[in-house]
Structure formats: structure tokens, C-alpha cells
Amino acid sequence: MKMNLCNSVQTRKNVQNYNVFKGDKFLNLGSTGFLLLYSLFLTVIFSCYMLHFPFSPILKFASKQDSAPPTNSLHITINHSQPADYNNSTSDCDLLNGSWVLEEKGNSLYYTNFSCPTIPHSKNCLLNGRADEEFMQWRWKPEECTLPRFNAKTFLTSVKGKTIAFIGDSLARNHMESLLCILSSEESPTDMYKDVEDKFRTWLFPRHNFTLMVLRTEFLVFATERVINGSFTGGFDLHLDKLNGNWTQHLTNIDYAIFSDGHWFLRPNYLYENGNLIGCVYCGEAGVQDLGPGYAIRRAFQAAFNYINKCVECSGIVVLLRTFSAGQFEQGAWNEGGFCNRTRPFTRDEVKIGDQDWEFRSIQIEEIERARKDGEKNGNMFEIVDVTRAMLMRPDGHPGAYWGNKWMKGYSDCIHWCLPGPIDTWNEFLQEILRRKLPIFH
């Protein structure tokens, strides 16, 4: 059955982070073998689907320079002439204490599914039948200042000759895809490289000699999927003191590295240090201590940042950590009929912050602070792009039922984000943080 749905390279080892079992939910399923097998089967379909529809094969396309202002079938004209309301005097304002405010349609968007041809099918919510549009019109508003709009021209000028890499899971990719769309209004990117599984991808903005990469690593550390009696289990062996060379080999060419990860740590994983089993996460196995996903996340980020600070050729690198972006299934997990069909953001009072989401965020912040102290002597910079709370207020921003899935009708994607959509705000945060820290981004 698997092989009918997935061809050669798309095997079980490629499961995406949809297979996120929330703590006790997984254990409940695990205790009933049939349900577990069934959910793993669904995961196969789910992941095959995702892998079959990565980027559109278009390599070159029209940009603002060589065509009329883009409109989509909704007749939205993007207002590119808004001032980038960057203001130095707001540089100490707390960006996180804020809420979402409704904007005029043309003023809130950076691109549409028409102007940006690299939107992957599974994130092209309007194409997949989503009918409400308001979710694209909210802008993040800190209480005491304005989060400046992203200025693609300034940004591209600032990163001339540089390389930015998004390092992490499929949400790192989602973030990169948003940036790719925003920047393509200024210059058409060229598709330079894609590996056979489309986990590593490189785009070049030739006029600015700017390289944008995504390096897929679900755990940062070296991990292999556990196989029991010839079957992939969906759980992994994580070597917490050994990094995955697939991303570290690129580090010396990277000027700005944007790290993220978290969802895959919620699987039933086994943890190793020095090659010895030290515990697990949700394995439910007698004699193996469950150290919890937070422990594994901390150790993985520590390993990554320690490596960077020890790497002589990496000195001067700018590292950003984009904090955990939680899944938002309601009325059940992804495989229990859970969905996300809200059409408006939560207000400050409505938003519920889960213990686990907040724990992961706190761990990530602690690790970036630790790395910052260690890295100062090498001229390395460590900063945080803290999206956790703002995104918990956006249950309306996910593809939900509109992720274009032929095989799993009735299942929702409440983890990734529609393009365009609230994930575009991550790049507003990114630009503002770089501006605050580096004069070159002014």
C-alpha cells in the first residue's frame, strides 16, 4: 500500500511533523496496537502527500520590475508604496506585548498566490478552496510602537553578497517560503539547488548576489529512525552529543542562520549520549527513564550552539532562533478528527498558552542566552525571533482543511501556515530584530 502511494524515495523515513503525538495522546494510542498502526499508516499517506507537492517547478517568473502590479483573482492590488515605518526611536519597545489588528486588504499583503509562484500547493490555502480572506488582513501591533512593515528593497540591499539559511523542520521551510515570496516582489529568485528529497534547497537573488537556503534537520542532532522487525516505527534514536552533518557542513558559508525545531521531539524517541542509551521521550518502556521532550530539545540546541561557538571558521556568524510555534488542533489530535476552522485571531484575553508550548519557548530562550555569552569572544551574535505567543493568537492562520490533500480528506493541517498569512509576520520580526542589532540593516 505504501509503495502504491509513495514512489521510491518517499518512504516511511520521511514522515513529516504531522505525526505529532501530544504527550499522553501518544501513549493512549500506543496501548492499543491497532490504532497505532492505523495512525502510522495515515502518517505515511500524509507524508507522501507532502513530499509529492513541494515547490512548483517554475524557475523564473515575473517580478515587480518587469510586469504590472500583481493582482489575484480577488482583485487585490498590493500597496507597495506604503512607508516602511521604521523608526529608530522605537528600538527599545517590547515587540511581544501586543495584539492583532485588522488592516485594509491591499495594505496588509506583501504578495498573493498570483504574484508569488513559489507558494507550495499545500500552503496555497485560497487555491485549495479556503473562502474566508480576513486571515490575511491582520497585522501584529505591539502596544507601544509599530512593528515596521517588511521592506524588501532595504533587506536585499543589507544582505548583498550574503547567505541566509533556515535550519530546522518543515516550519523552518514554511518561514523560508514566506521570505522567498516577500522578496520576490523586489527581485526574481533563481532556483539553484534541490536534493532528491527536496529537503535542501537553495535560491539565489542574482542582482543582489544573495543566497537563501533551507536545510532540513528535524532534530539538529544525529538521528536515525528506529526499525523494529523490519518496520519503521516513527520514533528515532537521537544522539544528543553528535550533530547531523547535513547542515553543519554548510555552516562556514552561512552569514545568518535561523534555527528552529521542536515538533519532532514529541515523538517516542530514544536518547543517547556517548553512544549509551540515557533515557527516552514517551517510550513507555520499563527501565528506560522518560526525560521528556524539553530535555531533548535543550540538549539539541546546546549541541548546535556549542558547535558554532567552537567553529573557528564560523566566527562572526549571526544566529537567530525562531521560537516554538505550537500546533493548534481543536477537539482532538490530528488523527482524531482535530481541526482548526477559526476565521479570526484570539484577543489577548482569549489566548490560552499551553504549559508545554511555553516550556519549549523558555528552554530555547535560555539556550540562546547561554550561547550569546559563550559566543561573544568570537564575534558571534545570538538573537531570538520570539513568535510563540503572537502565533498562539492565530488559530485562523493554518491551512486547516485547505491543504489540498487528495488522500486524507477530513484531516487538517493545524501546524503549518497559509501563504500569504500570519507567518509573514515572522519576517517583520526578523527584519526588526536585525535592524536593532546590526547597523547594516537600517
Ligand X SMILES: *[C@@H]1O[C@H](CO)[C@@H](O)[C@H](O)[C@H]1NC(C)=O
113 binds ligand X (CB under 6 A): yes
Whole-number Cα distances in Å, 150 to 107, 193, 313, 382, 441: 12, 26, 31, 21, 12
**Catalytic (active site) residue 184:** no
In terms of CB distance, is 87 or 289 closer to ligand X? Answer: 87
**End-to-end CA distance of the chain, in Å?**
54
The residue (of 103 and 370) whose beta carbon lies closer to ligand X is 103
- The single-letter code of the amino acid at 289 is Q
74 forms part of the interface with ligand X (CB under 6 A): yes
Binding pattern for the stretch 193-232 against ligand X, x by CB under 6 A and - elsewhere: --x-x-x---------x------------x-----xx---
Active-site residue identified among 170, 178, 184, 325: 170
Is residue 276 near ligand X by the rule CB under 6 A?
no
Please choose, out of 120-128, 285-293, 378-386, 407-415, the segment that lies near ligand X by the rule CB under 6 A.
120-128
Q: Among the candidate windows 88-96, 171-179, 321-329, 377-385, which touches ligand X by CB under 6 A?
A: 88-96
The answer to the question of residue 289 lying near ligand X (CB under 6 A) is no
> Has 237 been annotated as catalytic?
no
Q: Does 278 participate in binding ligand X (rule CB under 6 A)?
A: no
Please tell me whether residue 62 binds ligand X under the rule CB under 6 A: no
Task: State the binding string over 151-190 for ligand X (x if CB under 6 A, else -).
Answer: ----------x-----------------------------
Q: Minimum CB separation from ligand X for residue 374, in Å?
A: 25
Which residue from 31, 32, 82, 289 is in contact with ligand X, where contact means CB under 6 A? 82
CB closer to ligand X out of 96 and 278: 96
Tell me if 31 contacts ligand X by CB under 6 A: no
- Catalytic one of 208, 260, 416, 424: 416
Cα(225)–Cα(314) distance, integer angstroms: 30
Alpha-carbon distance 155 to 151, whole Å? 6
Nearest to ligand X of 94, 336 (CB atom): 94
Active site residue 413: yes
Smallest distance from the beta carbon of 88 to ligand X, in angstroms? 4
Q: At what angle do helices 355-375 and 292-310 cross, to 10 degrees?
A: 20
Does the protein bind ligand X through residue 126 (CB under 6 A)?
A: yes
31, 62, 101, 144: which one binds ligand X (CB under 6 A): 144
Q: Which is nearer to ligand X, 233 or 292 (CB)?
A: 233
* Residue with the three cell numbers 515605518: 85
- Pick 7 or 73: Cβ nearer ligand X: 73
Nearest approach, Cβ of 216 to ligand X (angstroms)? 8
Task: Rule CB under 6 A: choose which of 30, 52, 71, 79 binds ligand X.
Answer: 79
Question: Are 184 and 112 contacting, i.e. CB atoms less than 8 angstroms apart?
Answer: no
**Based on CB atoms, which residue is closest to ligand X, 195 or 336?**
195
Active-site positions read 170, 413, 416
Interacting residues toward ligand X by CB under 6 A:
72-74, 79, 81-82, 86-90, 94, 97, 106-107, 113-114, 124, 126-127, 143-144, 161, 195, 197, 199, 209, 222, 228-229, 244, 246, 341-343, 439, 442
